Structure 1
Amino acid sequence: MSAAPAPVPSLLAVFAHPDDESLVAGGVLAQHAASGARTSVLTTTWAPDSHRAAELGEAVRVLGAGRPRMLGYADARVPESAPGAPRFLDVPLDEAVGRLVGHLRDFRPDIVVTHDAYGGLTGHPDHVHTHRTTLLAVHAAGLEHHAPESGPPWQPRALYLATHPHSGVGDLGPLLTRVGKAVRSVPEEHVTAAVDVRPWLERKWSAILAHRSEVERPRPLPGALSRLPAEDRDRIIATEYFTRLDARPDGGPEGGPERRRARLEA
């Protein structure tokens, strides 16, 4: 008798802005949800009563990622994103880490996905700060004496950083430079998993389109993608790249030449 397949690990995506989740991890979010895994998205900026929060709610519904979780801080470049709230960049680090720890212990994910140390290809400061804060929170969440008021400790098994190898930039690089954005990619050996998300491409693209206010503008990536021929657009968003960091203290090395994966593994 063959062994039953291992359950698909639960996944929490932590990103800076509404639309980041759909652009860089929409495929794996849809994939994990379609496989019956618990999935959720936590966004560090924009107020829960803003128009972009409403768009985020529609996007995560399309992806099957439950209700949005939002910290509600202001975008570094858009103060009106959260009137009366501080910029995420200006919040004391202990406060931001503590709030993320609370969400990690509440959702109890096997896998956490966030931005890489560059903050993705464009290096937005909110992306970079979300990366730093999430790294600290993932480790702190498993410590029993850290923020005991946030609930019992919970240690995710793996942390994946959404990234792009030099070879994976392709048509996306010129698309970004054309609108004045930076392109920061990583060497091939930094990429642990390259996930083919073509089976979930229609759902991923629908989630991107849910961010209507960004689609309507030419400079944000949703808008730039929407102006491409479908074949070119699909080629750009059909693979999602990640660097794995083992989150548990006893985690072993990960990586090597066989980096193409069917999905993210805990």
Structure 2
Amino acid sequence: MEGATVSPTSPASFLPSLLGVFAHPDDEALLAGGVLAQHAAAGAATAVVTATWASGTHRAGELADALAILGAGTPRLLGFADDRIPDSAPGRPRLCEVPMDDVVKGIVEHIRAVRPQVVVTHDAYGQMTGHPAHLRTHEATVLAVHAAGLEYRYPDAGAPWRPQALYAATHPDSGAVVLSRRLQQVGKRTLTVPDAHITAAVDVTPWLVQKERAILAHRSEVAKERPLPGILSRLSAAERESIIQTEYFTRLSAGPAVTPLSALTV
């Protein structure tokens, strides 16, 4: 689907199984909520792995609510602590301090359990704000997608499974102007990629209501000033929709032809 814009009317039967791997609760809804809802509505298996926050915490509960709205199953938590919030996983190490091999193995276990055709994660910038947990999750996921298909890598983590495509959720220069301005207003830097780097631009308008509800399900972030769910919640409906109605992805891995994110051929 090189350089393609994906139509929301693509035949549902062609949508592949999809696993999202993200750093925090809310990343899944913000970056790929529409695509997750799209695939779930088409009957494709969907799931989300979240690197930080532990079961029993309030944000894990919010994540469960968001995934239910999107049709993406129940939380799959690696259970590491958010670097800035030790209570996010009491007694567990911070994600960015965990040996990379441990993070990779945790992701491999979920890849082999879910057996997705397509994996989606953060981009190599760690999204627009360069968040270190996003960057670490990106790096670990790239390694895990490769390792998951190798029989003698993490042999105790399940039977080998090779996803057919890996995509990074990202933000192109031309498609992030409004969002960049809003993030800069609360003191955040913004990192975008050249438009030519975009492999798929997915119009998620038919699933926009579900995506918005999933974002708002992260209630503790909505209540704050600087997190993106809070910023979006305070915008007019028109401006909010202009920001979240298209999801952008860059394909990172080569592999057999598959129909990721749409009915268009790679």
TM over 0.5: yes
SS at match of 2:136: helix
CA contact (8 A) 2:13 2:42 kept: no
Question: For this pair of structures, how many residues does the alignment match?
Answer: 254
**Deviation sequence 1:185-228 (CA, Å, 0-9, x none):** 00111110000001000000000000000001111000011111
CA distance in 1, matches of 2:14, 2:199: 21
Say if 1:62 and 1:29 are closer, same or farther in 2 by CA, change over 3 A: same
**Deviation sequence 1:133-166 (CA, Å, 0-9, x none):** 0000000000011111112110000001000110
Counterpart of 1:27 in structure 2 is: 34
CA contact (8 A) 1:115 1:128 kept: yes
Following TM superposition, by how much is the alpha carbon of 1:59 offset from its aligned partner in structure 2, in angstroms?
A: 0.1
**Deviation sequence 1:231-253 (CA, Å, 0-9, x none):** 110111000000012253xx47x
Counterpart of 1:258 in structure 2 is: none
CA RMSD for the aligned pairs?
Answer: 1.8
Matched, 1:183 2:190: yes
Following TM superposition, by how much is the alpha carbon of 1:117 offset from its aligned partner in structure 2, in angstroms?
A: 0.4
Residue identity opposite 1:193 in structure 2? A
CA contact (8 A) 2:15 2:262 kept: no
Following TM superposition, by how much is the alpha carbon of 1:81 offset from its aligned partner in structure 2, in angstroms?
A: 1.0
**Deviation sequence 1:99-122 (CA, Å, 0-9, x none):** 111110000000000000001111
Following TM superposition, by how much is the alpha carbon of 1:92 offset from its aligned partner in structure 2, in angstroms?
A: 1.0
Q: Which residue of the other structure, out of 12, 37, 52, is the alignment partner of 1:45? A: 52
SS at match of 2:51: strand
CA distance in 1, matches of 2:32, 2:243: 13
Q: Which residue of the other structure, out of 219, 232, 235, is the alignment partner of 2:239? A: 232
CA contact (8 A) 1:196 1:262 kept: no
**Deviation sequence 1:75-106 (CA, Å, 0-9, x none):** 11111211110001111111111111111000
Which ranges of 4 or more aligned residues in structure 1 deviate by more than 3 Å? Answer: 4-7, 261-266
Within 5 Å, give how 1:91-130 maps onto structure 2: 91-130=98-137
The runs of 5 or more residues in structure 2 that have no matched partner are 1-10
Using CA pairs below 8 Å that are at least 6 residues apart, which structure has the higher relative contact order?
2
Counterpart of 2:206 in structure 1 is: 199
Q: Which residue of the other structure, out of 213, 218, 223, is the alignment partner of 1:216? A: 223
CA distance in 2, matches of 1:151, 1:105: 6
Counterpart of 1:61 in structure 2 is: 68
Residue identity opposite 1:160 in structure 2? Y
CA distance in 2, matches of 1:115, 1:263: 22
State the identity as a percent.
60
Q: Structure 1-normalised TM-score?
A: 0.92
Q: Structure 2-normalised TM-score?
A: 0.92
Following TM superposition, by how much is the alpha carbon of 1:170 offset from its aligned partner in structure 2, in angstroms?
A: 2.1
Within 5 Å, give how 1:122-201 maps onto structure 2: 122-201=129-208
CA contact (8 A) 1:89 1:126 kept: yes
SS at match of 1:152: coil
CA distance in 2, matches of 1:78, 1:174: 27
CA distance in 1, matches of 2:183, 2:159: 43
